[in-house]
Amino acid sequence: MGVMTRWLDPDEQRTWRAFLTASRALMETLDRELQRDAGMPHAYYEILVRLSEAPQRQLRMTDLARASGSSRSRLSHAVARLETAGWVVRRDCPTDRRGQVAALTDAGFAALAAAAPGHVEGVRRHLLDALSPAQVDQLRRISETLVDHLDTDRPLS
């Protein structure tokens, strides 16, 4: 006999739908604002952030994909667009002939620096200001638990 489905009870269903709706609305709002104010989607912003925080502002493409939560093919497409904008350059990895390194250019760092204040204000306005300090702490702890449960390879910081 097959495994029985563990259906969601009404409270679990409300929790799931509220989480899904809030997550989507928050990310769509932040993405729309970044696109409007900085000319880039959130996925590109995340790539620039990860590169800006890396040693020498560069990462192997595989590490960048893992850190940004992107597939290698999606990341490759995004980095190509960022290269066209002059914000990132790709070069061969010195330690792995098959690998590539993505590096943040000075222009890319400037674009990130210009986008960051508005994005941070959006995160504050749309997420943090709506919660009490205790709720912010709970949200962080819940989110860390989910990341640990779902993906042990993705760094939190």
Segment 4-32, tens digit of pLDDT: 999 999 999 999 999 999 999 999 999 99
pLDDT at 154 over 60: no
Select from 116, 123, 102, 113 the least CA-distant residue to 51.
102
Summary mean pLDDT of the chain: 91
Task: Report whether 107 contacts 64 (CB < 8 A).
Answer: no
Nearest-angstrom CA–CA distance, 86 and 103: 11
Write out pLDDT tens, residues 39-77: 999 999 999 999 999 999 999 999 999 888 888 889 999
* Residue spans of beta strands (DSSP E) within 22-110: 58-60, 88-92, 100-104
- DSSP lists the bridge partners of residue 2 as none
